[in-house]
Structure 1
Amino acid sequence: MLKHKMNNLAGAICAVILLPFTALSATDLTFEESHFRYSQEALANAQKEIKVVDIDVSMNNTDARILFLKDPNDKSTFAAGFSIDGEELKGRIKSFGSSTRALRKKSIILKVKGSTWKGYKNIALNSMSSDGSMMRGWMAWEMMRDMGMMVPETNYVRLTINGEFIGYFLYIEWLGNRFLERNGYDSSSELYQASDNTYCGDFRHKSDTEKCWAKLAPRGGDHSSMKAFAKQVQSAPMESFDSFIASSFDDDSLINWIVANTLTSNGDTYNKNYFMIKSGQSKKWKVIPWDYDLTFGQTFDQFVPFPESLFNDRFQYYYTPDLGVFNPMKAKAFLNERLKGKIYKQLKHMIGKEKDGPEKTFGWFSPTVMNARIENLARVLEAGQVKQKHGARSPEAFVEQYDAVSHFGIARPFYLEANLFSTFEWSYRNTPQMKEYIAFTKGEDLYPEDIAKAESDAAIASQKDAEKRALHAKVKEEYHPPGEAKQALDEHEFMAKLLMKPYSGRAATADLGKSLIVYDPGYGYFLTRLDFKSPFKIVDFQTEAEGFKPPMYMFEGVSPDQCIQRSWVLFSRIPSLSSKADVTFEYFDEHSQKNELGGIKNEHKVNLWVHTGENWKPLRTEVNARSNTLTVNNFQINAGRIYRFIACAAAESPLWSVPVNR
């Protein structure tokens, strides 16, 4: 029985403004002329055989047990022998890492004595403990390598100790002299690593170069090159920043770094987690990216303490390219029209919108190619995840992990296209970071907390506070110039309030495969995925989603807190079409202060209910609590019917809800 009458539902649907339609087949790997295209070389590259290196370690049994039980700050090593793809070596072994050292499956360093492996004394094996899919870091390195960036060699490793399988690790090439030689850099080249501090390697005026940048090669305390570069970054005019980049950087190193961070949604950089190298011959710089485990949907929750802030079940694909702290290199690149054009051109090439560029990378990040790559990786990694000694997951848990990465690969290109290349084009000038940039150009850094303090009425205690308020007033004046239309308003929010409408999208396709994505072209949010069970000549569907509020209509006996704070409406725009499909919806769970969970504690107890105009019916639902997606399989969609869906964890729900399956 309805809690509210639904007499006006059909009329409300008919009143929806018709939006431009788009199409995507996410499962068919042969469609060429769909929404996002790709080259056959990119697809073949995604399906290539994944190299796995076998490393067997021999060591004292007691030491082997202690190795993964050590205190995170214990840097002691143990004697060991190493067999690497049949090559016998000797040396010592120790655990290493930062936040992941507190986890049971620790990262490992093998220190070779008396010889080398591939010219290296140190063999670093990353545990990938922060990534339940074990795919994110590998994919990021592969993508940047295919883009022509200078990145370390990486390989998956099957690690056994004394014959016992420990798990899969990721070998990451040691960034030292051998790495420089392999990439054509001589002994006069300089390699720097940004310090792991919140505000340090971001080239602000306040940054202490010697404190913020460790010089790795050549060894020594001379930071003069980095100091000079920092001053140039700080003083170079935005209008001619493209000329500065052309004269200071090799290749498109900075552009590609920004593009890679934008695609993978990497915000844990621009102030740390990257290296800078200056060639001794060309005297030009390159960015060497680092640490891509918290990417592809993994999100940081700043509202909870460590370790939950890093290791959580939150998920997102809808961060704009300004993600991460302010860095004048990033800011000036987005504000300089020529550099912004290069960034956008590369993004369009990578997601499959414009072919201009290498065949190998055309559509590298398109949904079809990403889906193929992730399925390929899953076949290799599943056994290792399920059987590894530390941090093992059930088969269902691993499927949920990699299915979430796949959802990111499908949703992210749509989001980027809608926000960067559509009606309401994203602009760096409209971001909160613009306040920091304006303060920076005036010669005084204002960190976000400084700006918040300057904006507070309580900041009146001292002359210093008054000066900050005066500076902030100037910033605000430039950010919102008097007498001008306030371009810095979020146009998406403005239009949503103006029209008082929910998220809405329409999609159509003809003979292009079995799947269809419906998304909101204003926000770029994923709304529905339909995987059809039978061929069709043409389909045309519309979806609406009312988010961040309890469902307007519910069945009797359920509380709004027992439901996801979102509801969906789905219908076919072709009156004669009846079809059967797997239907997937999503909800938001970005962090503890922005989610649609309501009072739900266990998302796996949620299932979808559908109303077709007669009554509510529970549906057997596959739940992915990682990607926040709900799927009902083999759903019959009849012509002329309007389907309203809600998702609740009512008493009946555990009988209907099941883990996501592949």
Structure 2
Amino acid sequence: MDEAEKISQYKLFIKPNDVRELRRDIWIDDPIPAQLTLEGKRLEIDLSYRGSHIRDFPKKSYQISFYKPTKFKGAKQIHLNAEFKDPSLIRNKLSFDFFTEIGVLAPQSHHIFLTQNGKAEGVYLEIESVDENFLKRRSLPDGSIFYAVDGDANFSLMSDLDKETKKSLELGYERKCGAATEDHYLQEFIYKINTIRQSEFEKEILNFVDVDKYLRWIAGIIFTSNYDGFVHNYALYRNGDTGLFEVIPWDYDATWGRDVNGKVMEANYVPIDGFNTLTARLLDVKSFRKQYRTLLEDIMNHQFTVDFMIPKVENLLQLVRPYVLQDPYKKHTIGDFDRESAVIAKYIEERRRYLQRKLAKLD
């Protein structure tokens, strides 16, 4: 989905009774019927709120499932993110595009302007759903996809939530697509991560995970500084042809120098070696650690530079700025919006200095 000079207008139409039902309890996932008009087409949809803590924000995020027709442009579902705490409204997209640049599977995304029953709701980021259609659009082999839904998706036998041994190796995950029999492969993967002997790990782990793609995903977290990225905010894809797992990033608005509350985050906040079990075991192997260091240096020489990133930042900011002025949740903070390019540039410079100092830790 390429950016155009103007962003698309999405028009929601919801019956008053259904609006009341949607707002009655923001924590209910049951959808309501609605209509969505875009590109001159009126589509019947199911609409619900999405996210966890973000449901409390004045500007809501939505999940849309196409009902009639059941697919639109090859998708059965899309996500509309409000990006409420991000003063720039672009960090999520900037991150997904960055992951793609460094060789990681990532959702496509583009900005839209949303109205509901004729009233402006503001700038949103439409994000591709990571499901079987995500694979089809990329001509990837069929396989299973598991969403990491909470901190128990930490690649460990120990729960990240209650600090006890997990009662199930599937804790922290929800299967999005693939047969129920695929759960066995996820369980085996988690078990093997934690039980392969150190002397055999370098060889045996290659039977379960695409190490190069995994290290690229970790590098993406390190450069964008998504603090939750190691144990949350991702999906696991098991390639049906190779049988190997790889990771798809998700929910990257708290990045590029701002945290989940939109506050400036120190450039040294996220450690260079991460903090989940699989990452720790991989980086304990000299060859993988060297591979990771070489990868970081390569990305720092090419993609993670002010010269490479800031033109992309400024193009996105220029694209959405006219619509930010019409956004009822953002129009009074246009000065903050206009300063975001400088905030991101400063973050990149400071993060580069931090990473340069820490590279020796990977020797």
Instruction: Answer whether TM exceeds 0.5 for this pair.
Output: yes
Distance of 1:372 and 1:260 partners within structure 2 = 19
Contact in 2 for aligned 1:195/1:201 (Cα 8 Å): no
2:278 to 322, 329, 339: 329
Distance of 2:40 and 2:12 partners within structure 1 = 13
Q: Who is 2:161 aligned against? A: none
Q: Establish whether residue 193 from structure 1 lines up as the match of residue 147 from structure 2.
A: yes
Q: Who is 2:193 aligned against? A: 233
Cα deviation for residue 63 of structure 1 reads 6.0
Flag structure 1 segments of 5+ consecutive residues without an equivalent.
Answer: 1-47, 300-309, 353-362, 429-662
Contact in 2 for aligned 1:56/1:83 (Cα 8 Å): yes
Distance of 1:233 and 1:391 partners within structure 2 = 45
Distance of 1:91 and 1:132 partners within structure 2 = 30
Q: What letter is aligned with 1:400?
A: R
Q: Establish whether residue 96 from structure 1 lines up as the match of residue 50 from structure 2.
A: yes
Contact in 1 for aligned 2:79/2:129 (Cα 8 Å): yes
Cα deviation for residue 144 of structure 1 reads 1.0
Q: Who is 2:255 aligned against? A: 295
Distance of 1:244 and 1:256 partners within structure 2 = 20
Cα deviation for residue 285 of structure 1 reads 1.3
The worse-fitting range, judged by mean Cα deviation, of 116-125 and 389-398 is: 389-398
Among the aligned pairs, what percent are the same residue?
Answer: 21
Contact in 2 for aligned 1:52/1:158 (Cα 8 Å): no
Q: Establish whether residue 371 from structure 1 lines up as the match of residue 310 from structure 2.
A: yes
Deviations 1:516-543 (A, max 9, x none): xxxxxxxxxxxxxxxxxxxxxxxxxxxx
Distance of 1:214 and 1:77 partners within structure 2 = 19
Shift of the 283–60 alpha-carbon distance from structure 1 to 2, 3 Å rule, reads: closer
Higher normalized contact order (CA 8 Å, seq sep 6+, divided by chain length): 2
Deviations 1:172-200 (A, max 9, x none): 1112221232334455x222122313x44
Deviations 1:402-455 (A, max 9, x none): 4322221222212211221xxxx2359xxxxxxxxxxxxxxxxxxxxxxxxxxx
Deviations 1:585-604 (A, max 9, x none): xxxxxxxxxxxxxxxxxxxx
Q: Establish whether residue 82 from structure 1 lines up as the match of residue 32 from structure 2.
A: no
Flag structure 2 segments of 5+ consecutive residues without an equivalent.
Answer: 159-164
Shift of the 371–240 alpha-carbon distance from structure 1 to 2, 3 Å rule, reads: farther
Q: What letter is aligned with 2:269?
A: Y
Cα deviation for residue 60 of structure 1 reads 4.3
Deviations 1:55-81 (A, max 9, x none): 432424746975885542144544332
The worse-fitting range, judged by mean Cα deviation, of 393-402 and 98-107 is: 393-402
CA RMSD of aligned residues (A): 2.8
2:233 to 273, 281, 290: 273
Distance of 2:270 and 2:119 partners within structure 1 = 44
Contact in 1 for aligned 2:222/2:271 (Cα 8 Å): yes
Contact in 1 for aligned 2:5/2:319 (Cα 8 Å): no
Q: Who is 2:88 aligned against? A: 133
Distance of 2:272 and 2:354 partners within structure 1 = 14
Contact in 2 for aligned 1:176/1:217 (Cα 8 Å): yes
SS in 1 for 2:180: coil
Q: Who is 2:222 aligned against? A: 262
Cα deviation for residue 50 of structure 1 reads 5.4
Q: Who is 1:247 aligned against? A: 207
SS in 2 for 1:394: helix
1:211 to 168, 171, 196: 171
Deviations 1:367-406 (A, max 9, x none): 2222222222221122333320234442212123443222
SS in 1 for 2:93: helix
Cα deviation for residue 86 of structure 1 reads 2.6
Distance of 2:180 and 2:278 partners within structure 1 = 26
Shift of the 120–320 alpha-carbon distance from structure 1 to 2, 3 Å rule, reads: closer
SS in 2 for 1:132: coil
TM-score normalised by length of structure 1: 0.49
Q: What letter is aligned with 2:290?
A: G
Deviations 1:325-373 (A, max 9, x none): x422111222222111221212112121xxxxxxxxxx21112222222
Of Structure 1 and Structure 2, which has the larger fraction of its residues in helix? 2
Distance of 1:369 and 1:279 partners within structure 2 = 32
TM-score normalised by length of structure 2: 0.86
Deviations 1:147-185 (A, max 9, x none): 222222211122223444321111111122212323344
Cα deviation for residue 289 of structure 1 reads 1.7
- The 5 Å alignment of 1:433-448 reads none
Q: Who is 2:123 aligned against? A: 168
Distance of 2:30 and 2:5 partners within structure 1 = 31
Contact in 1 for aligned 2:144/2:175 (Cα 8 Å): yes
Deviations 1:178-236 (A, max 9, x none): 1232334455x222122313x44332353331333222222537621112111211123
Q: Establish whether residue 398 from structure 1 lines up as the match of residue 337 from structure 2.
A: yes
Q: What letter is aligned with 2:361?
A: W
Q: What letter is aligned with 1:332?
A: R
Shift of the 414–230 alpha-carbon distance from structure 1 to 2, 3 Å rule, reads: same
- The 5 Å alignment of 1:375-394 reads 375-394=314-333
Shift of the 68–210 alpha-carbon distance from structure 1 to 2, 3 Å rule, reads: closer
Q: What letter is aligned with 1:109?
A: Q
2:64 to 110, 119, 140: 110
Q: What letter is aligned with 2:355?
A: L
Distance of 1:67 and 1:348 partners within structure 2 = 52
